[in-house]
Amino acid sequence: MDLYNSIKENSRAGFIEVLILELLSERTMYGYEIGQELSDRSKGVFIQKEGALYGPLYRMEARELISSFKQVDNDRYKKFYNITDKGREYLSFAKKEIFVVYDGVLNILKKESTKDDKATQETSHSLHEEAKQLTET
């Protein structure tokens, strides 16, 4: 694996569980559907290889963050996943923590950006405000 792909993979890996929980907080989904939603809603940032989600799903189910059931859909058995109350609690904390971490990272990285990079400054300010609001609740 080259350096670029290693950075891409490692920077995204820690978010998969939180993103899955966020999707499942909206509705029940089966594995393939979760992968499609991740890809579509992240505009291709989170594209999972087939079968790659089953490890995180299995671990989250073992930790009782999600539950599952099998159901026939279009003449095929599919395993559907739901978020549990414990998963909702975990998700709430994880979202706050992500914004706190992003705020800290942006505070460091924005020193590296040019002073007149308005888009970077606006994004940083927006995320900083969102992090502040989330951590105050």
The more confident residue out of 121 and 103 is 103
Q: What was the pLDDT predicted at 22?
A: 97
According to CATH, what is the number of the domain 1-83?
A: 1.10.10.10
Domain boundaries, the chain: 1-83, 85-137
Question: Would you say 46 and 19 are in contact if contact means Cβ atoms under 8 Å apart?
Answer: yes
Model-level pTM?
A: 0.75
DSSP-assigned letter for residue 2: -
pLDDT in tens, 50-89: 788 999 999 999 999 999 999 998 899 999 999 999 999 9
Q: What was the pLDDT predicted at 108?
A: 87
- pLDDT category of residue 32 using cuts at 50, 70 and 90: very high
CA 134 to chain centre: 16
Burial of 55 (0-12, 13-18, 19+ CB in 10 A): exposed
Q: Reply yes or no on whether the pLDDT at 44 is more than 90.
A: no
Do the bridges between strand 76-83 and strand 66-73 make them parallel or antiparallel, or are there none, so unpaired? antiparallel
Burial of 87 (0-12, 13-18, 19+ CB in 10 A): buried
Three-state DSSP state, 53: coil
Q: Buried b vs exposed e over 118-132: b needs ≥16 C-beta within 10 Å?
A: eebeeebeebbeebe
Q: What was the pLDDT predicted at 65?
A: 98
**Mean pLDDT value across the chain:** 83
The more confident residue out of 100 and 2 is 100
